[in-house]
């Protein structure tokens, strides 16, 4: 944790000037259209931060993002996408690249676990892993597409599954409001869902990333063998 500690110790709380500071992180703030997004983007990130770096650091980063009240009182409903957007940007700006990736990936896995336990109907959880991968992948893509606004906000989500014998899943978000370098949060969510419900381990690649200058964020998901690194 030394690299993150160096960054943490050298900053003052930004308060109302948070968006000016966030511009230096390379993550643009949305234009205020008020698009809504799921609360787990905040809740699970706060829990991951506290688990990996302690509650003091977690509270500080929430405060610097201008959403300190959300740490003490996690949201229970959909929220403005600019809140997790500011949190993700401040997290990337405060921690080292490696630590920020670790936190966001852990938050993504926690989000995926929450969705599996609370948002995927039990019949679907039981049935999908027993179907051929090509079928379960297509059904899961349909379900994700129907609820894409809960994680894509104002972004435009698209998805397709190619081939049947060895299916390849392509997911993309145009104007992704939560884009961060490598998008570890999204990748971990997708890995958790597809790796659990399609009855196979999966490899999640991120060939295009908006936070790295590409025109959109894109993921390619395929079946994998052996142990996997987290997204």
**Per-residue pLDDT tens for 28-43?**
554 546 799 999 999 9
Q: Kindly state the helix (H) or strand (E) to which residue 94 belongs, with its residue range.
A: helix 82-94
Q: Which of 87, 62, 55, 115 is closest to 180 using CA atoms?
A: 87
Strand ranges across the sheet with 156-162: 156-162, 168-174, 217-223, 202-208
What pLDDT does 199 receive?
74
Mean pLDDT of 80-86: 97
Residues 6+ apart with CB under 8 A from 75: 39, 42, 43
Rounded Cα distance between 211 and 42, Å, is 19
Distance of CA 77 to the CA centre of its chain: 17
What pLDDT does 34 receive?
73
More confident residue, 182 or 12: 182
Residue 9 predicted with pLDDT over 70: no
Mean pLDDT of 109-130: 94
């Amino acid at each position: 944790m030394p690299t993150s500690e160096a960054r943490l110790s050298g900053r003052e709380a930004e308060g109302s000037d948070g968006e000016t500071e966030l511009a230096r992180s390379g993550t643009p703030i949305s234009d205020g259209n008020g698009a809504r997004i799921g609360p787990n983007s905040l809740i699970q990130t706060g829990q991951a931060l506290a688990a990996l770096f302690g509650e003091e650091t977690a509270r500080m980063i929430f405060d610097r993002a201008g959403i300190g009240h959300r740490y003490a009182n996690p949201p229970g409903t959909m929220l403005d996408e600019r809140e997790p957007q500011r949190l993700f940007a401040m997290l990337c700006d405060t921690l080292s690249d490696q630590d920020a990736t670790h936190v966001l990936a852990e938050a993504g896995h926690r989000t995926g676990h929450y969705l599996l336990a609370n948002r995927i109907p039990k019949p679907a959880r039981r049935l999908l892993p027993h179907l051929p991968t090509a079928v379960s992948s297509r059904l899961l893509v349909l379900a994700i597409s129907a609820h894409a606004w809960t994680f894509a906000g104002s972004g435009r989500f698209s998805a397709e599954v190619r081939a049947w014998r060895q299916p390849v899943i392509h997911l993309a978000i145009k104007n992704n409001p939560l884009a961060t370098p490598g998008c570890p949060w999204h990748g971990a969510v997708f890995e958790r869902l597809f790796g659990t419900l399609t009855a196979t381990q999966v490899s999640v690649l991120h060939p295009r990333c908006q936070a790295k200058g590409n025109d959109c964020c894109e993921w390619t998901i395929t079946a994998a063998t052996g142990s996997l690194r987290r997204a």
